[in-house]
Amino acid sequence: MRREEFENESGIFDLLVMPLVAGSDHIGAIVLLHNVTELRRRDRALVTKDVTIREIHHRVKNNLQTVSALLRLQSRRVDDEIAKTALEEAVRRVASIAIVHETLSNSSTESVAFDEVYDRIVHNAIELSTHKINVKKVGTFGTFDSQIATPLALVITELIHNSLEHGLANSGENLRIEVSRKADGCEVRIIDDGVGLPLDFKWDQSSNLGLQIVKTLTENELKGSIELVRVGSETQAVLKF
């Protein structure tokens, strides 16, 4: 049996030749010729589309990095500490989105291996911390569609930085992230042993921009819920979506 594919001016064809044998005698052959022009055209179109999408993600990532660089440059020229902090927070948020697009630019699908994104988010956060933090992760995120990965990256970024800047700023040194992925959803707990949540804390009354971003993205983009709770000596941010 012989099989091969060839192309000419008429199209692309799949040729299959099967010999017919009677005893030790070769009495003929069955020849099947299948026109696969349309199938190959679609295959090539998919490859071209995939390359184009990856290139778009790559360019978006580059543009976001340019925006981050401009914001960082501007923050160095600002004397007002409030304005400087706001610009630095904007850099952090743009960088989180850029990480997702960079991951997509290296992927052949629109799914994001989110554990890779998480590792980079944590690495960037720890680099900015003023003191030693022990980070532990329990469980894995797995993959998410890009429409989920982008808002999730921002939410995780804000919650981790909230723990570092407020919970662990003056006391505590342990940050634990617990991930429980099930068929019907995902639960993420970001836990620190810092100063603890104020007894009178109310999410709707908080002026913290980062927490407002978390709440908005969780409810509108992830279609989930978020709460901050005190459990013993720990503060837990519980994200469900």
Range of the domain at 154: 135-241
> How far is residue 56's CA from residue 236's CA, in Å, rounded to a whole number?
37
> How far is residue 18's CA from residue 24's CA, in Å, rounded to a whole number?
15
As a residue count, the chain comes to: 241
pLDDT for the residue numbered 218:
94
Q: How many domains does the chain have?
A: 2
Residue pair 238/176 in contact (Cβ under 8 Å)? The answer is no
- The CATH number that applies at residue 227 is 3.30.565.10
Looking up tokens 């509108």 gives 220
pLDDT for the residue numbered 166:
73
Q: Is residue 167 part of a domain?
A: yes
Q: Is residue 44 part of a domain?
A: no
* Mean pLDDT score across all residues of the chain: 84
Looking up tokens 């901050």 gives 228
pLDDT for the residue numbered 169:
66
pLDDT for the residue numbered 161:
86
Residue 175 half-sphere exposure toward CB, CA atoms < 13 A: 25
Residue pair 101/74 in contact (Cβ under 8 Å)? The answer is no
* Residue 187 binned pLDDT confidence (cut-offs 50, 70, 90): very high
Q: Is residue 129 part of a domain?
A: no
Among residues 96, 236, 234, the alpha carbon closest in space to that of 155 is found at 96
Give the phi and the psi of residue 51 in degrees, each rounded to 5: -65, -40
pLDDT for the residue numbered 118:
92
User: Per-residue pLDDT tens for 47-103?
Assistant: 666 676 677 777 878 888 888 888 888 888 888 888 888 888 888 888 888 888 888
Q: Is residue 19 part of a domain?
A: yes
Burial class (CB within 10 angstroms; exposed 0-12, middle 13-18, buried 19+) of 27:
exposed
Q: Is residue 7 part of a domain?
A: yes
Please state, in angstroms and as integers, the Cα–Cα distance from residue 58 to each residue in 92, 104, 181, following that order. 19, 8, 29
Q: Is residue 109 part of a domain?
A: no
The percentage of residues in the chain with a pLDDT greater than 90, rounded to a whole number, is 21
Q: Is residue 215 part of a domain?
A: yes
* Residue 178 binned pLDDT confidence (cut-offs 50, 70, 90): very high
Q: What number of other Cβ atoms are within 10 A of residue 241's Cβ?
A: 20
pLDDT for residue 140 is more than 90: yes
